[in-house]
Structure 1
Amino acid sequence: MENIISRIDRIATENPDRIAYDYLGRTNTYGELKEKSDALAAYLKASNLPEKAPLIVFGGQDFQMIATFLGIVKSGRAYIPVDVHSSEDRVKVIEEIAKPAACIALSELPETGREVPVISRERLDEIMAEEGKSVSEEDYVKGDDDFYVIFTSGTTGKPKGVRIAHDDLASFVDWMDRDFGLEKEQTALSQAPYSFDLSVMDLYPTLTNGGKLEVLPKETTDNFKQLFSRLPEMKVNTWVSTPSFADICLLSKEFDEKHLPDLKRFMFCGEELTHQTAQRLRERFPNAQVFNTYGPTEATVAVTQTEITDEVLENYQRLPIGVCKEDAKIILLDENGNEAEAGKAGEITIVGAGVSKGYLNNPEKTNQAFFEYEGKRAYRTGDLGRFDSNGQLMYMGRLDFQVKLHGYRIELEDVDQCLSHVSLVERAATVPRYDGNHKVSQLIAYVVLKNAEFENEFKMTQAIKEELKETMMPYMMPQRFVYVETLPLTQNGKVDRKSLIKEVNR
Structure 2
Amino acid sequence: MNDSLPALFAEVCARQPYRIAVVCGEERLTYAELDAAARGLAAELLRRGVRRGELVGLRVSRSAEVPVAVLGIMLAGAAYVPLDPQYPAERLRLMVDECGIRYTVGGDVPVWGHDPAPADELPALTPGDLAYVIYTSGSTGRPKGCMLTHANVLSLLEGALPLFDVGADDRWTLFHSINFDFSVWELWGALATGATLVIVDAETSVDPVEFLELLIREGVSVLNQVPPVFRVLVETHADAGRPPLPLRYVIFGGDAVDLDVTAAFLDALPEDGRPVVVNMYGITETTVHVTFKELDQAALRGPDRSPIGRPLPHLDVVLRDECGVAVPDGGAGEMWVSGGGVGVGYLGRDDLTAERFVVADGVRWYRSGDLARRTGDGELQYLGRADRQVKLRGLRVELGEIETVLRGCTGVRDAVVRLVDDRALGDLLVAYVVAGDGYDAKLVRDECGMVLPASMVPARYETLPAIPLSTTGKVDRAALPYP
Query: Under TM normalisation by the shorter chain, which class is it?
Result: over 0.9
Counterpart in the other structure of 2:45? 44
Counterpart in the other structure of 1:115? none
Residue 144 of structure 1 deviates from its aligned partner by: 1.6
Distance 1:170 1:88, change over 3 A: same
1:375 aligns with 2:376: no
Q: Are the equivalent residues in 2 in contact too, given 1:78–1:141 (CA < 8 A)?
A: no
Counterpart in the other structure of 1:114? none
1:263 aligns with 2:247: yes
CA separation in 2, counterparts of 1:250 and 1:314? 18
CA separation in 2, counterparts of 1:93 and 1:431? 29
Output aligned runs, 1:44-443, within 5 Å.
44-106=45-107, 118-119=108-109, 121=110, 124-127=111-114, 130-131=115-116, 133-136=117-120, 139-154=123-138, 156-253=140-237, 259-285=243-269, 286=271, 287-435=274-422, 441-443=427-429
Q: Are the equivalent residues in 2 in contact too, given 1:38–1:71 (CA < 8 A)?
A: yes
Cα distance per residue 1:72-119 (max 9 Å; x no partner): 21222211122343332222111011112422225xxxxxxxxxxx32
CA separation in 2, counterparts of 1:65 and 1:350? 30
1:483 aligns with 2:437: no
Cα distance per residue 1:268-311 (max 9 Å; x no partner): 10111012222122223442111011011001001101011111
Residue 449 of structure 1 deviates from its aligned partner by: 2.4
Residue 352 of structure 1 deviates from its aligned partner by: 1.4
1:465 aligns with 2:445: yes
Q: Are the equivalent residues in 1 in contact too, given 2:127–2:150 (CA < 8 A)?
A: yes
CA separation in 2, counterparts of 1:266 and 1:4? 25
Counterpart in the other structure of 1:456? none
Letter in 2 for 1:504: Y
Counterpart in the other structure of 1:14? 15
CA separation in 1, counterparts of 2:423 and 2:355? 30
Cα distance per residue 1:118-159 (max 9 Å; x no partner): 32x2xx4332xx14x223498243212111111114575121
CA separation in 2, counterparts of 1:88 and 1:152? 16
User: Partner of 2:419: helix, strand, or coil?
Assistant: strand
CA separation in 2, counterparts of 1:367 and 1:255? 50
Q: Are the equivalent residues in 2 in contact too, given 1:426–1:449 (CA < 8 A)?
A: yes
Letter in 1 for 2:443: A
User: Partner of 2:235: helix, strand, or coil?
Assistant: coil
Cα distance per residue 1:177-206 (max 9 Å; x no partner): 211222333101111011100111211011
Counterpart in the other structure of 2:431? 445
Consecutive unaligned residues in structure 1, runs of 5 or more: 107-117, 454-459
In terms of mean alpha carbon deviation, does 267-276 or 66-75 score higher?
Answer: 66-75
Cα distance per residue 1:237-281 (max 9 Å; x no partner): 111111111111112236899734421110010111012222122
Distance 1:308 1:137, change over 3 A: farther
Q: Are the equivalent residues in 1 in contact too, given 2:316–2:339 (CA < 8 A)?
A: yes
Percent identity reads: 27
User: Partner of 1:157: helix, strand, or coil?
Assistant: coil
Q: Are the equivalent residues in 2 in contact too, given 1:386–1:395 (CA < 8 A)?
A: yes
In terms of mean alpha carbon deviation, does 20-29 or 368-377 score higher?
Answer: 368-377
Q: Are the equivalent residues in 1 in contact too, given 2:428–2:458 (CA < 8 A)?
A: yes
CA separation in 2, counterparts of 1:340 and 1:138? 49
In terms of mean alpha carbon deviation, does 2-11 or 219-228 score higher?
Answer: 219-228
User: Partner of 2:466: helix, strand, or coil?
Assistant: coil
User: Partner of 1:498: helix, strand, or coil?
Assistant: helix
Q: Are the equivalent residues in 2 in contact too, given 1:37–1:70 (CA < 8 A)?
A: yes
Residue 317 of structure 1 deviates from its aligned partner by: 5.0
Q: Are the equivalent residues in 2 in contact too, given 1:429–1:445 (CA < 8 A)?
A: yes
Q: Are the equivalent residues in 2 in contact too, given 1:185–1:209 (CA < 8 A)?
A: no
CA separation in 2, counterparts of 1:160 and 1:29? 36
Consecutive unaligned residues in structure 2, runs of 5 or more: none
Q: Are the equivalent residues in 1 in contact too, given 2:168–2:196 (CA < 8 A)?
A: no
Q: Are the equivalent residues in 2 in contact too, given 1:304–1:322 (CA < 8 A)?
A: yes
CA separation in 2, counterparts of 1:182 and 1:261? 17
Residue 232 of structure 1 deviates from its aligned partner by: 3.2
1:494 aligns with 2:478: no
User: Partner of 1:70: helix, strand, or coil?
Assistant: helix
CA separation in 1, counterparts of 2:124 and 2:470? 34
Cα distance per residue 1:13-61 (max 9 Å; x no partner): 3322211111123211211111111222233334433442211111221
Counterpart in the other structure of 2:33? 32
CA separation in 1, counterparts of 2:363 and 2:191? 29
Letter in 2 for 1:134: P
CA separation in 1, counterparts of 2:451 and 2:238? 33
Letter in 2 for 1:173: L
